[in-house]
Amino acid sequence: MTTMFVVIEGPDGAGKSTLVSELAALVSSTSGRTVRATREPSDSPLGAFIRAEHAAFSPRGRALAVAADRANHIDGVIRPSLEAGDVVISDRYVPSSLVLQRLDGLSLEEIWRYNSFAPPPTLTAILVPDPQTVSKRLDARALLTHFEERSTPALQTLLYGEAADFLRALGWNVVAIDVAASSPKEVAQRILAHFA
């Protein structure tokens, strides 16, 4: 059975969570395999604390807390699910750290030191959305996160491109997917085609 660990990445407001749900349903219906949809920060107590109390951290402290949550997520969810033959689809993973912690002023190299333990996914799909669509989505949110307040969709898209290049140089399978004129179902089908 082929290992299938897919990570969905992209700027805040790009539609990652919607796509994870769409892709999970598509994979489940076409393959018959159990799909574990997950996210980072994880749903663990540490992940919930990171999401709720992001302002309580210094930039380096936040990067280390996210890396610790990732280690628990890998050991407690991702690896056991893959070993059971399940498909794992994650909303965010290492590329998010390589983007968001840079917004906090850390270098790619430092962030990678904290995350180099993380196994590469089978496929990392970085969504490239229409910046105006993302801006409208963010404007509609009642509360913005620390990172949404400190950046723009264009800046995050640029940093995701740099993170993709960095990870490709390390052997990661990273693809950029233009989602500006595609429905979540169409994007999910394009991602699934990488496994055909």
Q: What is the pLDDT of residues 129-186, one digit of tens each?
A: 877 776 565 555 455 455 545 667 788 888 999 999 999 999 999 999 988 888 999 9
Q: Are 77 and 118 in contact (CB under 8 A)?
A: no
**Which pLDDT value is given to residue 39?**
98
Q: Which residues are annotated as a binding site for ATP?
A: 10-17
Question: How does pLDDT run across 101-115, given as a tens digit for each residue?
Answer: 999 999 999 999 999
pLDDT of res. 121: 98
pLDDT at 140: 57
Domains, the chain, ordered by start: 5-195 (3.40.50.300)
pLDDT at residue number 168: 98
Please enumerate, by residue number, every residue annotated as part of a binding site.
Answer: 10-17
Collapsed DSSP state (helix, strand, coil) of residue 87: strand
pLDDT at 148: 47
Pairwise CA distance, residues 106 & 145, whole Å: 18
